Amino acid sequence: MLPSRNIYGGAHQLLHDWFGKRPNLDVGVVFFDGFTTSDFTKALAGVKKKYADRLAAGRRVYVYLESPCNPHGVFLDVPGIA
């Protein structure tokens, strides 16, 4: 999973503590900082490299965004990222 760092605290906790933790679902979770398409593209390349084995085995990358972000109200370049 490639979620934005700028998300609601509850969603962050769910991804970090439940989906991401090894004793729980052990899903690969990498948060990306920043707001632009270029910030996202860099993070996506990192994820593809880090989890190349899982992706080769048929797993997929899912992107999770919130915009405007809670609680800071910043906007992500959603059309660019999508």
Partner 1 sequence: MEQLEHFHIDPKSPTGRPLLALAEKLYAAHGDVMDLWEATTRELGRLPRQDRLALFNAKKFLSFQLAKLLDTLQNPSRKTHQSLRYSNTTMLAKGPYPTFDNVTAIFSATPVITRTATYLYACSEWIDDALQGREFLHEIYSRLMNPTSISLPNHIVYIEAGPMAGEYMAWNFNSGMAAIDAALSHLVGY
Binding site for partner 1 (CB under 8 A): 1, 8, 10-11, 14-15, 19, 25, 27, 62, 64
**Residue 27 neighbours by CB distance under 10 Å:** 15
Measured CA angle at 5 (ends 48, 29), to 5 deg:
40
If the CB atoms of residues 36 and 59 are measured against partner 1, the closer one turns out to be 59
Min. distance of Cβ 11 from partner 1 in angstroms?
5
Min. distance of Cβ 67 from partner 1 in angstroms?
14
How many Å apart are CA 78 and CA 44, to the nearest integer?
A: 15
